[in-house]
């Protein structure tokens, strides 16, 4: 049996007629940037994630950048985040002129360890960016409390900006992630749980001022047409992407339920294996953008699976603090031991809603057969 790690063609085949109709609507309207389709999606996505505002942009990276700018982050500031994530999290911080400061992870969840975050706070810290990695909510409650109690030189608390780019619909203690802090960023990259047919992203927030500023910044700093109050960016979402996302958002709850069922099947099928499986905190709801396992001799196990027809992926093989643009004396090799160990051992199994039960069972059986006891 051949089992892909991801197969986007299966999803498109089930939606082709609706997507074509949505794209035709945009073509007939000749409104290709922002416009009615994007506005409708913004309203629907804000409602879905239980936020007051949604500002659609051209990527999750842009959403993070705007959220940080709206929080007042700039040159000379520090922003605490994780090195166990896609590099865009750190890039968005650097775009503001601020410095990313990396805290280690909790090995049980692969997300930021709040105790390590507290130890990383300095007088220059302005924000915390927790990442809901693989769709698993970060431990937000202690981070939000820390942000409230720390006083910055200007008298304000720290801003919490959620990187929810992999966590569409996830819940932390019963509440949707994304707008639990000052703002949150989502990505609609084609591989995400909710995906555009290309690039796309969104900033969500319950703060009126943040929403107004983000809308201005995404369109060249405009307050109204051809009146520019600040330095801005061309971060607008294309109408085609808004139309596609509107079609797919209706399917997201069902897709999420299927992802969760596949994850449960993996847990049951691998319960007796020597693999390490990440834990979901009681009261949280993971949406399983990825199903990550941790194994010694990762490369050997991966090769054995590939030879038996099971494709896998590695998210992420090298932590950000060991990537060339981010190497500093503050974060040498060995300084984030749990992060580095996770990146050496992580392996992501096939996971997308269109996987069949037979394929899921084959993956579990094959992985259990090739993994050797430690």
The CATH number for 26's domain is: 3.40.640.10
User: For position 61, what pLDDT does the model report?
Assistant: 98
Is 63 domain-assigned?
yes
CA pair distance 348, 290, nearest whole angstrom: 6
Digitized pLDDT (tens) for each residue of the chain, 374 residues in all: 999 999 999 999 999 999 999 999 999 998 989 999 999 999 999 999 999 999 999 999 999 999 999 999 999 999 999 999 999 999 999 999 999 999 999 999 999 999 999 999 999 999 999 999 999 999 999 999 999 998 777 777 899 999 999 999 999 999 999 999 999 999 999 999 999 999 999 999 999 999 999 999 999 999 989 999 999 999 999 999 999 999 999 999 999 999 999 999 999 999 999 899 988 989 999 999 999 999 999 999 999 999 999 999 999 999 999 999 999 989 999 999 999 999 999 999 999 999 999 999 999 999 999 997 76
CA pair distance 32, 211, nearest whole angstrom: 22
My answer on whether 226 and 358 are in the same domain is no
Q: Which two tokens stand for residue 228?
A: 């520019």
My answer on whether 239 and 296 are in the same domain is no
CB–CB of 90/316 below 8 Å? Answer: no
**How many angstroms from the chain centroid is the CA of residue 264?**
21
Is 89 domain-assigned?
yes
CA pair distance 304, 370, nearest whole angstrom: 7
Pairing of strands 222-224, 227-228: antiparallel
Is 2 domain-assigned?
no
Number of domains in the chain: 2
My answer on whether 236 and 309 are in the same domain is no
The model's pTM = 0.96
| Pairs from 211-219 (Cβ < 8 Å, separation ≥ 24) | 211/52, 211/53, 211/55, 213/66, 213/69, 213/70, 214/55, 214/66, 214/67, 214/70, 214/183, 215/55, 217/66, 217/69, 217/70, 218/55, 218/57, 218/62, 218/66, 219/34
Instruction: Check residue 30 and report its DSSP letter.
Output: T
My answer on whether 170 and 41 are in the same domain is yes
- The Cα-based distances of 80 to 63, 105, 158, 162, 327 in angstroms read 17, 12, 10, 12, 15
My answer on whether 315 and 238 are in the same domain is no
CA pair distance 19, 33, nearest whole angstrom: 18
My answer on whether 73 and 96 are in the same domain is yes
Domain-ending residue, one of 249, 277, 295: 249
Q: Which two tokens stand for residue 208?
A: 């009126």
My answer on whether 224 and 160 are in the same domain is yes
Is 110 domain-assigned?
yes
CATH number of the domain bearing residue 344: 3.90.1150.10
User: For position 374, what pLDDT does the model report?
Assistant: 63
Of 348, 340, 341, 342, the closest CA to residue 367 belongs to 348
My answer on whether 68 and 137 are in the same domain is yes
My answer on whether 87 and 189 are in the same domain is yes
Is 3 domain-assigned?
no
- Show the domain range for 163: 8-249
* Residue 82 three-state SS: strand
CA pair distance 229, 233, nearest whole angstrom: 12
Domain-ending residue, one of 204, 220, 249: 249
Count CB-CB contacts under 10 A for residue 78. 18
Is 157 domain-assigned?
yes
CA pair distance 106, 125, nearest whole angstrom: 21
Domain-ending residue, one of 249, 274, 303: 249
My answer on whether 120 and 202 are in the same domain is yes
My answer on whether 133 and 241 are in the same domain is yes
My answer on whether 236 and 273 are in the same domain is no
């Amino acid at each position: 049996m051949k089992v892909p790690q991801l197969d986007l063609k299966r999803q498109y085949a089930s939606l082709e007629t609706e997507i074509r109709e949505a794209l035709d609507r945009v073509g007939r309207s000749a409104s290709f940037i922002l416009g009615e389709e994007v506005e409708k999606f913004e309203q629907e996505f804000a409602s879905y994630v239980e936020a007051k505002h949604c500002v659609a942009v051209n990527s999750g990276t842009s959403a993070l950048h705007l959220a940080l700018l709206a929080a007042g982050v700039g040159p000379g500031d520090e922003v605490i985040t994780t090195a166990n994530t896609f590099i865009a999290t750190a890039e968005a911080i650097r775009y503001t002129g601020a410095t990313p400061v990396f805290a280690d992870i909790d090995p049980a969840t692969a997300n930021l360890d709040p105790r390590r975050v507290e130890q990383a706070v300095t007088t220059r810290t302005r924000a915390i960016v927790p990442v809901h990695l693989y769709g698993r909510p970060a431990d937000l409650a202690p981070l939000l409390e820390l942000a409230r109690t720390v006083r910055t030189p200007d008298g304000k608390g720290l801003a919490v900006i959620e990187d929810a780019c992999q966590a569409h619909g996830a819940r932390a203690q019963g509440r949707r992630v994304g707008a639990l802090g000052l703002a949150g960023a989502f990505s609609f990259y084609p591989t995400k749980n909710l995906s555009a047919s290309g690039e796309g992203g969104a900033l969500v927030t319950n703060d009126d001022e943040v929403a107004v500023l983000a809308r201005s910044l995404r369109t060249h700093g405009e307050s109204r047409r051809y009146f520019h109050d600040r330095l801005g960016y061309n971060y607008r979402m294309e109408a085609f992407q808004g139309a596609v996302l509107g079609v797919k958002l209706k399917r997201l709850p069902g897709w999420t339920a299927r992802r969760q069922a596949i994850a449960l099947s993996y847990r049951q099928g691998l319960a007796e294996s020597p693999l390490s499986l990440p834990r979901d905190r009681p009261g949280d709801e993971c949406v399983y953008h990825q199903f990550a396992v941790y194994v010694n001799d990762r490369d050997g196990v991966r090769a054995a699976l590939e030879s038996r027809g099971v494709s896998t992926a590695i998210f992420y093989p090298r932590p950000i603090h060991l990537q060339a643009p981010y190497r500093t004396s503050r974060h040498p090799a060995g300084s984030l031991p749990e992060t580095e160990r996770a990146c050496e051992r992580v392996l992501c199994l096939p996971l997308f809603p269109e996987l069949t039960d037979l394929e899921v069972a084959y993956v579990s059986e094959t992985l259990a057969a090739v993994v050797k006891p430690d």
